[in-house]
Structure 1
């Protein structure tokens, strides 16, 4: 189902949490244990530098690469869909039809060859009676 670009949620851009594993917040990456603290000013400056640089770099990369990457991935998924719809699924259906005929032929040949032998052995062994000696 295609979504109208005007109705995109500009706040929640990962509603299915596809990229939760890529989350890189300061609190998830940097932590000073008790007894090992830098100066408060350094800690605050590092926090601001990390977040600003990460945001700026990500925005520059998306400006340069997001549209070409979208085109690439759109083409990849289109080719995969085309392959599944027009090549793979019909090929599988064709093989299933062929294997169905082979299964029928093979089953018939096995029954022709094995059934008489199995019936003969079964008739030979069917007259065996087991009795107990009470000595």
Structure 2
């Protein structure tokens, strides 16, 4: 999966040049929650009164904004502290623990591989070559012959 990341400068410059674009990476494109994406009256036979439609739009719009902002203050800010802690710990663990350990293990595996290769070349390969030489002179020939034998049962 190909992933492209914007640098911090690209995000800040795009956010500063267009303050209404708070999703420069388009990670929440699926959230199309505008009134007309949620409530739609497809044909004139299903239209409500014009005044009711306008009032419904205003009620929906402002209720959504007020609830979102209220929840952002009450729940969003504490969640951002939690997410900041989690991603901070994750970043620390990856940079200072996981990646160095992975590099150390890769180095050990490479060194063990060299030793195994040397041992194999010095001990195992000659044994198998000599066994191959011993069994190389064995010849098997198959032929089809009918062997008739009489079996007697002694009682």
Higher helix share: 1
TM-score by length of 1: 0.74
Q: Choose from 62, 71, 76 the match for 2:72.
A: 62
TM-score, length-scaled by structure 2: 0.66
User: How many positions carry a matched residue from both structures?
Assistant: 124
Q: Which runs of 5+ in 1 are unaligned?
A: 126-135
Larger RCO (CA within 8 A; separation ≥ 6) = 1
Counterpart for residue 24 of structure 1: 33
State how far apart, in whole Å, the 1-side matches of 2:47 and 2:80 are. Answer: 43
Supply the distance in 1 between the matched residues of 2:59 and 2:120 (Cα, whole angstroms). 77
Runs of 4+ in structure 1 off by over 6 angstroms are: none
- Selected match of 1:36 from 46, 49, 67: 46
2:144 alignment partner in structure 1: none
Structure 2 portions without partners, runs of 5+: 1-6, 137-155
Tell me how far 1:109 sits from its aligned partner: 2.7
Shift of 1:110: 2.6
**What does residue 87 of structure 2 align with?**
77
